[in-house]
Structure 1
């Protein structure tokens, strides 16, 4: 008999209700978006009357998930940046020098005195005063090597050590360079994400392209320059011992030293040791504040490791100056007056309130491990996005109306049932897109339009099969039941192959291709559900009410 169990009916209606409820916020997009932004800002930054007013625009008991609009629909900024991964090699060599120096000093009887020599950025050259002890020195430095921490680098060491007369040459191994490049790109991606979306409401697209490039797309931001201002600086905070102060840019600095300009004193330069005492990587917090004179400043706090280093250095160097360096400029160089325990301090300088706030954001996000060189930048205006939305809406409506007219003309009342299921299908698709937080792009709209056309395929198969069964003089109830049973295998086969194609597009594609794959895949799921279960439920309800002796499909 043509019937559906009560528990199945409850599940079908529940699924439809959930789809409609979760898709509803998209009908009030601007209000819900302001509500969501206000909720995130209140949680991160605190409540204000304006944020409370925006929060009240949408009921808290209603779902508030939205389909995110992509860059091509909403407008925003697009950047393509190249990460200067070679910069990291120099930092690794600088960080390795204290270990090499201390290890060789333990072998002083054999190697004599140790002095660092000028070298390329990706090398560390060390001269020993006793060339006869070169073999001992090489063995000692090789003992500092560590295994490469990647699957592709199993069995390899992170450094290569060679000798040249009385010099030791240390380089990163090829496996370690590859691992370092991968870590640098991944770290850059995460830090860029923190900087451009600290509150978590912008939905940026930040992904790796090729070996050393990063694609950054942020919908809703004013311009590419505004985006570059957020991510265009490394915000590298370090603390260095001060060797001297000078008013000249040249002169002999000595091996292992740097000449850095003062940020607040034009024409003044500081000679500092190249290797920092503490780095910004050991920062755990930075907040805008005011100093004792009421001028804008930034409070900072180190993690336990950084706090110990900072405390030990200040305890051992009371009366000596040390430099607070931000992006290769000396912010200040105070004299250590006393031991500073606890790992906290304050950065003062010629800051405005806005500059101190931005600096705190950059420091909290962390330092970029390498410089970014911007190769491509575009600002996409919201007018272009609105044009795309309007064009997509028109295309979807035309497709929707054309399909509904065809179904009604071809299958009569059964076609109207299919049209109602089609409307519910689109609502469920938007509900799923909202729940998973998917980003809708122009190719995504194309996927929705394609889904609208494909959604009735299953109904066409069922209805044609019912027509065939009616020709064999079976009763209407049995014809409907057999129509669904015999068409099921063809429906499942056709949609599984399309779903596999969508999965491959998602796995191998990127950006807009993935957006198309997501809407196509979700559309297949919802269309199969509505075609097999929803239209059948509608037909059963009609049949139970009317009990027709004959039907026409």
Structure 2
């Protein structure tokens, strides 16, 4: 019986240790690799610095127009090389854009809000094609007659565009055709051949980055709606990391104090609760990494609050456990009764918090959503660890039969 309990207990410890190692340090086996959660968890602008812009569509807009606008903005932002941008709908007619590492809101607004139609204009000033006629555009490397690799942009036109472009290239042979976006010429390639296939190539570009940006602008085309910036802010590159470091320190100190309190006040059950709490924290971090959840300061606050909920559940259970021990019940009977009697209170407390978090998530916006999401994830996982993991560890501990002194169990 003792050996069975020891196997159960140490199996949980070993599995948790292996998962923690893989989560924090990653692992690579042949062609398969798992990156660490530090590299997978996305930090909000308030923790890593950048620009936040909230755009509102003017007039009555459809969901399809908002979806197209988001796609266009994403293409434009990707052309900047911004790492892990956040481009999401907020409400029915707003788009929230977060650009980490950028510190110029005016530049961000200029890039995001380009609304004029993409046009191909001939030397006579007449519009030949619009962005709607371009099916695809890519930046590629092509080999010249001398064997040198040069960047160029390929264009694929639709049927209408193919016909119009064939006529234009015949008419303007050896003349430039301007590609204009927002009344600004982004390229003016010269027509070297009559193009009748609907496949064109733009050459003479400085480097591949220029070709990639040009292809992105052509592909993105115009916004289907007019966007107006209603809010924007910038977080410095030093303020973000300092806030992140402060939040991490506060979290570590807070968790250490909780672990010490639980071990000192509830003794062996408190130590088991500490193990379950560490597993709970690990579960949360893995969920954040797997689902690409953006972690900002309000999100960290929600996470820390959920730790308090996890501890509160254990406190309720252990107080019931102590009452049963003082009433003269055996350790196993007192443990089962303690969990059974505390379950309703723990369940009700968690459910009310879950309901509140769901309402905040669906009715709130911006940072409020981040707080609600981490709180919701935390409360659900804390309920799981308190009711299952802690109980499993305590049963394994009783099977090991280390001591029958109820004082060791906090009574």
Q: 2:179 aligns with which of 325, 347, 354?
A: 325
The 1:377/1:456 distance shift into structure 2, 3 A limit, reads: closer
Q: 2:318 aligns with which of 422, 440, 463?
A: 463
Alignment of 1:52-451 (within 5 A): 60-65=32-37, 66-83=40-57, 85=58, 178-179=60-61, 182-197=63-78, 202-208=83-89, 213-221=94-102, 223-224=104-105, 227=108, 230-231=111-112, 233=114, 236-240=117-121, 242=122, 270-273=124-127, 276-280=128-132, 282-287=134-139, 298-303=152-157, 306=158, 308-314=159-165, 319-321=170-172, 323-327=177-181, 328-329=183-184, 331-332=187-188, 338=194, 340-347=195-202, 354-370=209-225, 372=227, 374=229, 377-451=232-306
Q: TM-score, normalised by structure 2?
A: 0.80
Q: How many residues align?
A: 398
Q: Helix, strand or coil: the match of 2:33?
A: coil
Greater Cα radius of gyration, structure 1 or 2? 1
Conservation of the 8 A alpha-carbon contact between 2:49 and 2:239:
yes
Conservation of the 8 A alpha-carbon contact between 2:47 and 2:239:
yes
Q: TM-score, normalised by structure 1?
A: 0.61
Q: Helix, strand or coil: the match of 2:155?
A: strand
Paired with 1:384 and 1:326, the residues of 2 have a C-alpha distance of 39
Paired with 2:135 and 2:270, the residues of 1 have a C-alpha distance of 65
Conservation of the 8 A alpha-carbon contact between 1:196 and 1:230:
yes
Give 5+ residue unaligned stretches, structure 2.
none
Q: Helix, strand or coil: the match of 1:271?
A: coil
Conservation of the 8 A alpha-carbon contact between 2:156 and 2:198:
yes
Paired with 1:520 and 1:11, the residues of 2 have a C-alpha distance of 29
Q: 1:506 aligns with which of 358, 361, 370?
A: 361
Paired with 1:225 and 1:393, the residues of 2 have a C-alpha distance of 32
Paired with 1:335 and 1:383, the residues of 2 have a C-alpha distance of 49
Conservation of the 8 A alpha-carbon contact between 2:262 and 2:274:
yes
| CA shift digits 1:1-39 (9 cap, x unpaired) | 99x999x989977985686366425xx8xxx9xxxxxxx
Paired with 1:504 and 1:521, the residues of 2 have a C-alpha distance of 10
Cα RMSD after superposing both structures: 4.1
The 1:289/1:215 distance shift into structure 2, 3 A limit, reads: same
Q: Which has the higher helix share?
A: 2
Give 5+ residue unaligned stretches, structure 1.
33-55, 86-176, 246-269
Paired with 1:451 and 1:234, the residues of 2 have a C-alpha distance of 44
Shift of 1:429: 1.2
